[in-house]
Amino acid sequence: MLTSWAPYAVPVLGLLGLVAFSSVRDQRNDEFPLQPQSSVAVGWADESSCADCHFEQVELFLQTGHAQTLRTVEDSRSQELLQVFQDSVSEYDQTLRVDLSGRDVDVVSQSGANSRSLELDWCFGSGTHAHTWVGTLPDARGQRDLVEFRWSWYHETASFDITPGQTAQKGSGYFAPLGTLFDTPKARRCFACHSTVLPESNGHVDYNAIHPGVTCQRCHGPRQSHVESNGEIQEGFWQAASQMDSIKRCGECHRIAEDQDPEDIKPENPDIVRFQPVSLVQSPCFKNSPQMTCVSCHNPHRPLNSQNSSGIWQCVQCHDSQQEDHVLCSADQLDNCLECHMPKIQVFENIQFTDHWIRVRKSLPKIPN
């Protein structure tokens, strides 16, 4: 009896052994070229170590808009502005109040006996243009949606007004008096552009571990190996970046032409002014200058106000009146190039953007004083 079962008993035992072995994952899977999102933080260095060697750059960089483009609601600047809003809220919306008394910052909309509230968590924007606050809401799957607060602070007017993209008329729904609800993918996109590292675990963004602001490694990539080798390892994105790679790197957040509907890319569309790389690559200057990128004019390591990013030194590299073979301005202007060729455009009521589609214009846009 035993002998007749032997040919089947051995395979069954073998199969059980193989099933046990199956818990070991196949090494060939590691060949997948994209790291899982959970390991997005692999190779990231503690950025405090950047200042050890690049102290000058770091000191100046921390003053840039990029470095300050996201902060927690508890940040002093955020609290300062919310205090201003609290004091003057009745000018904007009589049903609204801001509660800064507790540990959390809550905004409450009271209509009759109905009250709706939102806890604010983050303050977006460096303040060069504006500051917008958001609250994040957990969902049943452990993801987070986002409510963009209805009121933003604008640098241009030094006052509060309705957040760009939101309408003056309040919509319907629970959050309508307080702001606009964004779903998880959209929320992730907001944070992805306003932070350096957006760590994810099991498909969920770990908001407690966000590195806010666009800092060193967001542009230079993970630099742990660079730090650990005391700067010996120099490999990185920028050494090998082509002109378009460079544009794309900035365009990751500032958008690139391929992100847009081709029909939207036209000079008369003021909306694309917001997306500088989209406009820039349409410019004859860009098309005729193989070296021209965003960093040709902007030093990303310095704040805008400490560099001459709006001067003429960039233009005269190709349009120099001292050089006979250079093409010169047909209007015989020798300075103030930007005023005609890269004017500021009023895109939102309180925000102007510089048009990076460098070109000869028939007429200049009117900017309200």
Closer residue to another protein (CB): 107 or 337: 107
Residue closer to another protein by CB (options 256, 338) is 256
As measured in angstroms, the least distance from the Cβ of 345 to another protein is 22
Contact between residue 137 and residue 144 where contact means Cβ atoms under 8 Å apart:
yes
Q: Closest distance between another protein and the C-beta of residue 185, in Å?
A: 4
**What CA–CA distance (Å, rounded) separates 22 from 297?**
56
In the complex with another protein, the residue whose CB is nearer, 187 or 337, is 187
For the bound state, the minimum distance from the C-beta of residue 171 to another protein, rounded and expressed in Å, comes to 12
- Which residue lies nearer to another protein by CB, 169 or 202? 202
Which residue number, 26 or 325, has a Cβ lying nearer to another protein?
A: 26
Distance CA(356)–CA(279), nearest Å, equals 5
Grouping H, G, I as helix, E, B as strand and the rest as coil, residue 242 is coil
Task: Identify which of residues 4 and 48 has a Cβ nearer to another protein in the complex.
Answer: 4
Considering only CA atoms, which of 332, 337, 333 is closest in space to residue 312? 337
**Min separation Cβ 175 and another protein, Å:** 8
Closer to another protein at the Cβ: 29 or 330?
A: 29
For 187, counting Cβ atoms within 10 Å of its Cβ (0-12 exposed, 13-18 middle, 19+ buried), the class is buried
CA distances from 235 to 15, 224, 231, 274, 332 (A): 48, 11, 10, 32, 45
| Smallest separation (angstroms) from another protein to the CB of 18 | 5
Q: Residues 260, 266, 271, 276: is their CA dihedral positive or negative?
A: positive
CA dist 148 and 122 (Å) reads 10
Distance in angstroms (rounded) separating the CA atoms of residues 273 and 232: 41
Binding site for another protein (CB under 8 A): 6-8, 10-12, 14-15, 18-19, 21-29, 31-35, 37, 39-40, 42, 112-117, 137-142, 173-174, 183-186, 189, 192, 202-204, 221, 237, 248-249, 251-252, 255-256, 258-259
Write out the E strands in 170-268.
Answer: 179-182, 195-197, 200-201, 204-205, 211-212
* List of residues 6+ apart from 369 with CB closer than 8 A: none
Which residue lies nearer to another protein by CB, 21 or 313? 21
The distance of closest approach from Cβ of residue 255 to another protein in the complex, given in angstroms and rounded to an integer, is: 7
DSSP character at residue 312: S
Token pair 């990185």 is found at: 236
The CA angle 132-135-139, to the nearest 5 degrees, is: 145
* Minimum separation from the CB atom of position 40 to another protein (A): 6
Q: Which two tokens stand for residue 327?
A: 């093409």
What is the rounded CA–CA span in Å between residue 282 and residue 257? 9
CB of 249 to another protein, least distance (A): 7
